[in-house]
Homo-oligomer: A and B are copies of this chain.
Amino acid sequence: MNGQPDIEYFRGDWPAQKTYTFAYPPALFRLESGKSLGPVTVAYETYGTLAPDGKNAIYIPHALTGTAHAGTFTDRPEQEQGWWHGLIGPGKVFDTERYFIVCSNVLGGCYGTTGPASLNPDTGVPFAMDFPVITIRDMVRGQKYLLEHLGVKRLVTVAGGSMGGMQALEWAVTFPEMVDSVIAIAASERLTPLAIAYNQAGRKAIMNDAEWCRGNYYGRTYPVGGLALARMIGTITYKSKETFEERFGRKLAGKEHDVYNFFQDFEVERYLNYQGSKLVKRFDANSYLYLTKAMDLHDLSRGYPSPAEVLRRIVGPVLLVGISSDLLYPPGEIRGLAVELRRCGVETDYRELQSTFGHDAFLIEYDQLATHIDEFLKKRA
């Protein structure tokens, strides 16, 4: 591994292959909020080779609890498969024999990129809640520094799902001259108030945990109960009614004769407990707070005179993908965005994953995704 993430108390299961640090004082990274941050370390991975003209790159932004490990290193079989392994690899839709694929951990994350668990250079202890509020736009602007450092001149596409899709759209608005196309899956220009409400419940779960200590739990007991509950709430919204019914129904986790035991769970409860306990081992609670806040605050048109004006900045083409059973980013909203984009003169395709997996389908329905993405990229080739 090349370059240790500079965080002391938390380390992801799959630390990124490489890191790049920029914004050394006094040339700090100025955030959308007006606050400044620096130095900023970005943990990243790359797959494939950059062409001499620097124009065969694809950037893959990740979702809420994702990492820079989107693809799979074929020469390192001991490593886990990346979170988008079905799409990234030799001969796959994001073909590593053709493209130079870059994925980095987001600003505010906990997998090697500077975030609330990183040491605050002013105090020598982790930032915790002294970390500044960051935005999707800040994430994207940080990624731009990384791509410049790597010699990337243009992006064939920026492709992501959920919070990754929000970043993909933001890339097309903030750096239109660099982005040849955009693929945003299960994502829109801004969250609905319902999605904000769910994120709030997750944050409350963490902040209610007595171990959270206003964020200063590093080196002490982690707020595991709170983070597990936040994940549980999140997981409910990432699935669909159908998934829960097909997979768990009303089956008890234990014995039928013990049904009146208050502490016996249904299978669905056991599953959600398990998802909670899994995340706790691999994620930082303060990062969860900052990243959900970044999602809530995100509004593609913030700071622009009108929503139409911001959409007209996008050069396109754009592929928007909705998921038929998505509760968080209802397909109707994404279809609506496609209509608006076309009205603003942006070439836009809308495709819909037919899936009962809910929002999670962007991490599962590889065949459908590959078909739509392949068709979209081939039209351009």
Contacts and interface: CB of A to CB of B under 8 A. Distances in A.
B268 A193 contact: yes
Contacts of A191: 250
Nearest to A233: B201
Given A33-B260, A193-B267, A210-B210, 5 more contacts: A193-B248, A201-B229, A201-B233, A204-B205, A262-B289
Nearest to A132: B260
Shortest 4 CB-CB distances between A and B: which pairs? Answer: A33-B260, A210-B210, A193-B244, A193-B268
Interface string A173-198: 00000000000000000111110111
B244 A200 contact: no
B260 A192 contact: no
B232 A204 contact: yes
Nearest to A246: B193
A268 B197 contact: yes
B197 A269 contact: yes
A193 B249 contact: yes
A32 B198 CA distance: 35
Nearest to A200: B269
Nearest to A263: B129
A307 to B, nearest CB: 12
A272 B233 CA distance: 15
B197 A244 contact: yes
B229 A194 contact: no
Interface of A: 32-35, 129, 132-133, 135, 190-194, 196-198, 200-201, 204-205, 208-210, 225-226, 228-229, 232-233, 236, 241, 244-245, 248-250, 259-262, 265-269, 272, 289-290, 293, 296-297, 299, 330
Contacts of A33: 260
Contact of A299 (B241, B250, B299): B250
Nearest to A225: B208
Contact of A197 (B197, B236, B260, B262): B236
A277 to B, nearest CB: 12
A241 B129 CA distance: 31
A34 B260 CA distance: 9
23 contacts: A190-B250, A191-B250, A192-B244, A193-B267, A194-B236, A194-B244, A196-B250, A196-B269, A197-B269, A197-B272, A200-B268, A200-B269, A201-B232, A201-B233, A201-B272, A204-B225, A204-B229, A204-B232, A205-B205, A205-B208, A208-B208, A208-B209, A262-B289
Contacts of A228: 204
Contacts of A269: 196-197, 200
Contacts of A249: 193
